[in-house]
Chains A and B, each alone.
Chain A
Amino acid sequence: MNTIILTAVLGIVLMMIGAFSKSKTLPRFVAIGGVALLLVANMVELLSQESFFAFDVKNMLAFNSFNLTFIGVALLCTLIYFLLSGKDIEKVGTNVAEYFALIFFILCGVALSATFNTLLLLFIGIEIISIPLYILTGSDKRNLKSNEAALKYFLMGAFSTGIMLMGIAFIYGGNEQATFYISQLGFGVGKMSPLIAIGLVLLLISMSFKVSAVPFHFWTPDVYDGAPTVFTSFMATIVKAAGFFAFVRLFENGFGALQPQWQKLIVLITAATLVLGNLTAVFQQSVKRMLAYSSIAQAGFMLFAVFALNEKAKEGLILYTAAYSLATIGIFAILIKMKDYTIDGFNGLAKTQPVLAITGLIFLLSLTGVPLTAGFQSKFYMLMAAAQVGTYKWLIILAVLCAAISAYYYFKIIQAMFFKQASSSAEGDITEEITPVFKMMLIITALLIIVLGVMPGLLTDWLYY
């Protein structure tokens, strides 16, 4: 509750700052302070199980340790994102305060879609996330690619929103209680009516679209590639994880009893996402586009949480959110500093910028899933969750083979950074001077990844607080 209200308030405050202050740096400091405040407020709520704001929400929102932990992780990642890339947000265009304000509105949507208890609030949450994103995608006004991406994203997003609404309508009409509350849908095990079946499939499609699962992923590479890189970083991590969280909660609380019926569909989507995401990422020359495909590939692993829907899967989802977001935010922060976004642009980085190269190595190893990094633990949890289900063993084997393919493209960057000679350009391959603060932040992010890799319980134990 704290997060939902405070994010909205902070968003408005930032808009006001934009209107009344000429300072270019003030919004960033307010934003950083704001997220830190949100994080504290969220922790207080998690620890005390009581919100600052005592509204009667008629049980339309549910606050438990699972939801609040997720919001906490999302806020922590946003804080690190601001600290690492805040300055780059300022460089996107002139309306700096508005960018930050929009991000706070997105966070509000993230909190809503993490705590929804009715289908209506799910819809509102997802929309609050989506609409500011359309704007942020097109925020580089003079760049045609950015405009194209925004339009594409908007059209496809609107389409999927329509599908979601239709699904909600079918579910509403089809259940005997005529309710929007997901916990009261009351589907038993057994046959489902055609209306419910249609509604469920429509919801599945729209959620798959939001998390860019194959075959609903076609917008992702173009949008991620076209959007300003700082915002791609945010979209590919926190926003995507929020989509997954909503996905898991909807299907666990709403349709958990019907799992045998829809599990096959999820298996197909997971397999397709893993294979296609990884195979297409192999052929990319631009690191930014490669990371877009890799985000699809990683989504395949996160889909295991929807597939399994057990305790391990919940822990895994939280851990995956943290591991994947931290590593991706880190690697994007490095990418923004590069002049050349192709893999060759990274050549010889270990010589010119050892700190960037070594932290980048840790991020990439984590994304690959090498032990001692958070990425390994999150993959391990997901595999464990899937193994506990007991069926579809081939899917798990397919998943690890795909993880091995992912090593191929992540290691291409590592090879470029460490084992290749820098190109002959005298001025180096970095766009600007790297500040010590930025280096410190990279190191802290890398350390967080290693700490979570050794002690994942630090995060997952919050679920049982």
Chain B
Amino acid sequence: MNPQDVWITFPELLVWFPLLAGLVCFLFKDNSKVKSWVLLASIITLCISFTSLYFSDDTKYLALNKVSYTLKYMNNGNFILGLDGMGRLLTLLTAFAFPIIFVATYNTRYKNAKNFYALMLLAQSGLMGVFTAMDAMSFYFFWELALIPVYFLSSQWGGEKRIQATFKFFVYTFVGSLLMLIGIIYVYLHTINISGTGHSFALYAFTGSRLDPTEQMWLFWLFFVAFAIKMPIFPFHTWQPDAYEQAPTATTMVMSGIMVKMGLFACLRWLLPIFPQAVIKFDNIVIGLSVFGMIYASLIAIKQDDIKRLAAYSSIAHIGLMCAGIFTKTEVGLQGVMLQMFCHGINIIGLWVVIELLERQTGVRKLSQLGGVAHKAPTLTILLVVIALANIALPLTNAFVGEFMLFNGLFAFNVWYAAVAGISIILAAVYTLNMIQKIFYGEGNSITTLIKEIALHEKIILCVVVVLIFMMGIYPQPMINLTQNTVDAILLKFN
């Protein structure tokens, strides 16, 4: 396919369509129609994402998957978007997540709904931008632009302490991204553009930059702190439980399902290829922090009474494992991260959907106040149990494949790390099963007698999640094939 035959490419569609759709939301007068519109828009985005999978062969369809804008008055010109295996995987996750979120929260009423949904779609556009950006400047732009709508969503529609919690989240990530900006500037000054006369922000120029080892050492930390805050890994995680607890659940799904993947994604896309020597030098520190964070977060999760905080800490533990997997620099470890990024996104969103349904019906989310829900809502119970088992990475579920590969990679790197990290699986079983037991079994009380079985569209959406969990648990190969080229490209830097 020739470049001149193509008038729009997939990355452009994925970024600009949600943006436009989001802006259209502001024009709606009626708050009830806007729901159908955003649902439609997010489904269209999903279709675009699916179509892009069909055209994923870069040798034939390169023109469809890469685009470079040259803006005359932009500093240093180019604005490059592109899709590779990892980009396709994460844009697909983003495209998947939003329809699920919109359906699951269809019955939730928001004040000023059109603003709410507009900001949600703007966040989606920003996320798509992060995953398709192929030059450092546009990456930085989208990195920040994904944050701003989420900041407003959480501060406007969140819980009681929303303003402080969300602001903490904002300041943390803002500090990180500013440090990354300095890093970008320094790497930029060491690059050579394609004509050999100046510098360039493009990814290929960054990966080919001439940095001596000492420069790599301190630049590595400027980037890594930004990514570590976003993931978050210990000790940069303190914003996360508060932010998850206080944000409206739809936004929490975006944050925990997709936004935390930004940090992992950025490590794979920017950190490993640009600073290979620094990565080799600091891998033990990062993996040590990750493994420690896993145990630490799991222990705290056991003690939580609020379901949202429990899910938040369990998320920290899972992200820790993925971060450790990245820094093993083994093929199986990196493939595990890719797969697990997608699986964790799906699973955690499923978990949040259940929490949202429970909270909407009962008004509480304390484990100590719930009980006996299984008698009232058997379907919900079955679906939640499957999702929860995926959270503990039981065989046949998708997370098993990912975590198995991750542990395999960690084992190849250092047996002791794998052994310590393995404890977290047991701890995950403790807090997850404890949660199921307390919510669904035991005696019902005055709060839980009000619970009714969930509505049809909610059943469907949870079934979709469950089907995905099993499908990817049994046959993960297509996913692994999809990201193989990205993994190969990264590993090339370490051989």
Contact = CB atoms under 8 A, between A and B. Distances in A.
Interface stretch (B43-51, B72-80, B255-263, B377-385): B72-80
Contact of B72 (A369, A404, A457): A457
Interface stretch (A54-62, A89-97, A379-387): A379-387
Interface residues of B, number: 29
A266 B407 CA distance: 53
Contacts of B185: 380, 383-384, 387
Given A388-B189, A404-B174, A380 B148 contact: no
A377 interface: yes
Interface in B164-178: 167, 170-171, 174-175, 178
Interface residues of A, number: 32
Contact of A418 (B71, B140, B148, B156): B156
Contacts of A393: 218
A458 interface: yes
A85 to B, nearest CB: 28
B83 to A, nearest CB: 22
Contact of A383 (B171, B181, B218): B181
Contacts of B178: 369, 400-401, 403-404
A176 interface: no
B171 A407 contact: yes
Given A400-B181, A457-B73, A419 B163 contact: yes
A365 B175 CA distance: 15
A411 interface: yes
Contacts of B188: 384
A420 B73 CA distance: 39
B163 A457 contact: no
Contacts of B72: 455, 457
A250 B312 CA distance: 56
A407 B156 contact: no
Contacts of A461: 73
A397 B179 contact: yes
A100 to B, nearest CB: 34
Interface string B146-173: 0010001001100000110001001100
Contact of A411 (B170, B175, B179): B170
Interface in A132-190: none
Nearest to A403: B178
A419 B156 contact: yes
B106 interface: no
Interface in B247-291: none
A395 to B, nearest CB: 11
A33 interface: no
B179 A400 contact: yes
Contacts of B174: 404, 407
Nearest to A459: B73
> Interface centre among B148, B179, B181, B189, by most A CB within 10 Å?
B181
Given A407-B174, A419-B163, A457-B74, A400 B156 contact: no
Given A418-B152, A419-B156, A396 B144 contact: no
A372 interface: yes
Interface string B83-115: 000000000000000000000000000000000
A284 interface: no
B141 interface: yes
Contact of B182 (A400, A418, A419): A400
Nearest to B157: A419
Contacts of A448: none
A346 to B, nearest CB: 14
A458 B181 contact: no
Nearest to B141: A371
A396 B167 contact: no
Interface residue SS majority, chain A: helix
A17 B189 CA distance: 56
A262 interface: no
Contact of A455 (B74, B170, B181): B74
A387 B175 CA distance: 18
B145 interface: yes
Nearest to A312: B75
B141 A411 contact: no
B75 A377 contact: yes
A454 B182 contact: no
Contact of B189 (A380, A387, A397): A387
A454 B79 CA distance: 12
A408 interface: yes
A415 B186 contact: no
A106 B75 CA distance: 33
Given A403-B178, A404-B175, A407-B170, A419 B162 contact: yes
A256 B188 CA distance: 26
Contacts of B141: 371-372
B182 A396 contact: yes
A401 B175 contact: yes
Contacts of B218: 393
Interface string A409-453: 001000100111000000000000000000000000000000000
A411 B75 contact: no
Nearest to B155: A419
B259 to A, nearest CB: 17
Given A387-B186, A455-B71, A457-B75, A408 B181 contact: no
A258 B402 CA distance: 61
A364 B286 CA distance: 36
A365 B179 CA distance: 18
A380 B76 CA distance: 12
A383 B182 contact: yes
B181 A404 contact: no
B95 to A, nearest CB: 24
Contacts of B189: 387-388
A41 interface: no
A456 interface: yes
Nearest to A458: B73
A355 interface: no
A370 interface: yes
Contacts of A383: 181-182, 185
Nearest to B147: A370
Contacts of B156: 418-419
A454 B74 contact: yes
Contact of A371 (B144, B167, B171, B186): B144
A393 to B, nearest CB: 8
Contacts of B145: 371-372
Contacts of A404: 171, 174-175, 178
Interface in B106-147: 140-141, 144-145
A400 B179 CA distance: 7
A397 B189 CA distance: 16
A411 B182 contact: no
B148 A408 contact: no
A372 B188 CA distance: 20
Interface string A352-383: 00000000000001000111100001001101
Given A372-B141, A387-B185, 15 more contacts: A365-B148, A371-B140, A371-B141, A384-B188, A393-B218, A396-B182, A397-B182, A400-B182, A401-B175, A403-B178, A404-B171, A407-B171, A455-B73, A456-B74, A461-B73
9 contacts: A365-B148, A400-B181, A400-B182, A404-B171, A411-B170, A419-B163, A454-B73, A455-B72, A455-B74
> Top 4 nearest A-B pairs by Cβ distance?
A457-B73, A455-B73, A400-B178, A404-B175
